[in-house]
């Protein structure tokens, strides 16, 4: 196994390198996880992840997470964990939002491979 050194990533530069919305970009990997950046605007689809919790770190903007019984607003610098099996709909209703997600390798962003936007390496 090859020895690896520390990895430093400029998140702002990575975010500036793409404009697509709701299209996750893999910017790093550690253990069996992908660190993904996403630019969002508008509403995403209702979905759930049966196999894993979902982590959302808001880098810029104000983000709503709709649940069937309430909406939670998450702002720049805040983190939201959605427990596995919880139906939710992410939404950026007040302009673009920039997110950092950490997901197990290959996790579909809709919880279903058939409907997911595949995360790609940046």
Cross-strand bridge partners of residue 71: 66
Q: Is the pLDDT of residue 8 over 80?
A: yes
Cα gap 63→72, rounded to integer Å: 8
pTM of this prediction?
Answer: 0.87
Cα gap 103→18, rounded to integer Å: 20
pLDDT of 120 reads 77
Q: Is the pLDDT of residue 108 over 80?
A: no
Taking the alpha carbons of 91, 94, 95, 96 in that order, is the dihedral positive or negative?
negative
Average pLDDT of the residues of the chain: 91
CATH architecture for residues 17-101: Sandwich (2.60)
Read off the pLDDT band of 105 (50, 70, 90): confident
Contact 27, 99 (CB under 8 A): no
pLDDT of 114 reads 66
Delimit the domains of the chain by residue range. 17-101
Beta strands in 1-122 (DSSP E): 25-30, 33-43, 54-60, 62-67, 70-75, 79-82, 88-104, 120-121
Cα gap 117→9, rounded to integer Å: 23
Among 10-14, 56-60, 102-106, which is the least confidently predicted range? 102-106
């Amino acid at each position: 196994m090859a020895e690896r050194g520390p990895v430093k990533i400029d998140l702002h530069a990575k975010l500036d390198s793409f404009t697509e919305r709701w299209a996750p970009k893999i910017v790093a990997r550690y253990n069996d996880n992908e660190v993904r950046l996403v630019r969002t605007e508008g509403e995403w689809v209702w979905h759930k992840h049966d196999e894993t919790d979902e982590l959302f770190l808001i880098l810029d903007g104000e983000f709503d997470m709709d649940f069937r019984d309430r909406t939670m607003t998450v702002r720049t610098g805040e983190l939201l964990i959605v427990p596995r099996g919880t139906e939710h709909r992410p939404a950026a209703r007040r302009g673009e939002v920039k997110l950092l997600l950490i997901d197990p390798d290959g996790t579909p962003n809709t919880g279903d491979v058939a409907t997911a936007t595949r995360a790609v390496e940046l």
